[in-house]
């Protein structure tokens, strides 16, 4: 069984859910016994994945495990581990507030990807408040980007653009080109929705340029997925341009590309 399946069945067992098969009960029982032997304590939720592999689990190891689960698309398990890491943080007075911010940001992303958008909005708001308290540019960038993702999904386009522009300001100060590409792609999507076509073109072309850099994005599948999304958004730009009788077949479109190459049309 995958981590997600184990987690769901463990919760069902705690709730005395009779839908579990005898074989599933045996798997969970064996895991609980193994945990108790390793830890000397009864099984806890996060133990079912990371802690079995890390008997002396600490914050950083839980964070790495949670981020890996998130990369693999297992948002439910990732959210559980981030929550466990945050509980561990509260019991670790030596841990810094910036680490707490990164854990909260991971939790927000996991909540967003599992569809809990309102929870994610609240969590990213916590990250933003923490970023301001500790004056962390990176945390503010992460919070603004997360809020931008949530607001795009909620169709609150003006709020999404405002937060993504703030994230872009942060990332340019930090000179993190990989993060900048991700922000530009989402910001371009927001501008498409508002039919601000020149700005959309600028953002999408800049994002495209960065995603073509193998040193920034060594993963082939990640590059191809970004390329697909950018092409889809550019196609949407063409459709919207046609609706307002703006010809993009070519001369106008090519002139926008030339303007971009000359350093014009950069997002505000």
Assess contact for 63 and 48: CB atoms under 8 A: no
Higher pLDDT, 181 or 71: 181
Q: Per-residue pLDDT tens for 167-195?
A: 999 998 888 888 999 999 999 999 999 88
Q: What is the CB-side half-sphere exposure of residue 237 using CA atoms within 13 A?
A: 27
User: Up-side HSE of residue 222: CA atoms within 13 Å toward CB?
Assistant: 15
Tell me the DSSP string of 50-113.
Answer: HHHH-TT--HHHHHHHHHHHHHTT-HHHHHHHHHHHHHHHHT-TTS-HHHHHHHHHHHHHHHHH
- How does pLDDT run across 45-63, given as a tens digit for each residue? 444 444 433 333 467 778 8
Q: How far apart are CA 150 and CA 81, in angstroms?
A: 21
Q: Which residue has the higher pLDDT, 112 or 239?
A: 112
Q: For residues 187 and 2, what is the distance between their CA atoms, to the nearest angstrom?
A: 35
State both tokens at 17.
């859910």
Domain extents for the chain? 176-268
């Amino acid at each position: 069984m995958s981590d997600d399946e184990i987690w769901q069945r463990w919760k069902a067992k705690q709730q005395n859910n009779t839908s579990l098969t005898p074989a599933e009960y045996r798997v969970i029982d064996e895991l609980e016994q193994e945990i108790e032997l390793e830890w000397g304590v009864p099984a806890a939720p996060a133990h079912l994945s990371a802690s079995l592999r890390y008997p002396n689990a600490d914050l950083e190891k839980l964070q790495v495990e949670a981020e890996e689960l998130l990369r693999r698309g297992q948002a439910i398990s990732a959210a559980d581990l981030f929550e466990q890491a945050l509980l561990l943080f509260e019991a670790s007075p030596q841990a810094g507030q910036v680490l707490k911010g990164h854990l909260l940001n991971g939790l927000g992303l996991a909540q967003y990807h599992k569809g809990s958008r309102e929870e994610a909005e609240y969590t990213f708001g916590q990250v933003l408040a923490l970023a301001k308290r500790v004056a962390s540019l990176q945390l503010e960038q992460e919070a603004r980007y997360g809020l931008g993702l949530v607001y795009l999904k909620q169709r609150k386009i003006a709020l999404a653009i405002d937060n993504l522009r703030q994230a872009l300001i942060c990332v340019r100060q930090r000179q993190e080109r990989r993060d900048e590409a991700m922000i530009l792609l989402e910001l371009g999507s927001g501008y498409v929705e508002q039919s601000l076509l020149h700005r959309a073109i600028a953002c999408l072309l800049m994002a495209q340029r960065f995603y073509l850099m193998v040193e920034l994005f060594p993963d082939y599948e990640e590059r191809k997925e970004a390329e697909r999304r950018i092409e889809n958004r550019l196609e949407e730009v063409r459709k919207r341009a046609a609706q307002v009788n703006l010809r993009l077949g070519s001369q106008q479109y090519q002139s926008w590309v030339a303007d971009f190459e000359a350093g014009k049309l950069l997002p505000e």
